[in-house]
């Protein structure tokens, strides 16, 4: 499963990341916070949640709005070992 990180510039394209890289980061750090782009489907993020919860990790996800428009948001994901 590939997901897209949140953009750092509104005109830039989001960078892709594989779930295995996220998992390696969680194993190394113990607790990570990622921001994912609005182009990710909610279904994919729920699959990510299921993936980490099956491995015994705590997973918290929220939608973060950064503007007044309906499409100015990103997903915040906090994974704790």
Please give the share of the chain, as a percent, with pLDDT higher than 90: 81
Q: Within a domain: residue 43?
A: yes
Q: Within a domain: residue 18?
A: no
Q: Within a domain: residue 17?
A: no
CATH number at 39 reads 3.30.1660
Q: Within a domain: residue 21?
A: no
Residues 52-76 pLDDT 10s: 999 999 999 999 998 898 889 999 9
Range of the domain at 37: 2-6+28-80
Burial class (CB in 10 A: 0-12, 13-18, 19+), 44: middle
pTM to 2 decimal places: 0.89
Q: Is the pLDDT of residue 9 over 90?
A: no
């Amino acid at each position: 499963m590939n997901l897209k990180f949140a953009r750092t510039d509104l005109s830039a394209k989001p960078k892709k990341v594989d779930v295995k890289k996220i998992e390696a980061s969680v194993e190394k750090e113990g607790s990570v916070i990622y921001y994912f782009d609005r182009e990710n489907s909610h279904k994919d993020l729920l699959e990510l949640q299921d993936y980490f919860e099956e491995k015994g990790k705590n997973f918290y996800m929220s939608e973060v709005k950064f503007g007044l428009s309906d499409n100015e948001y990103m997903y915040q994901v906090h994974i704790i070992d």
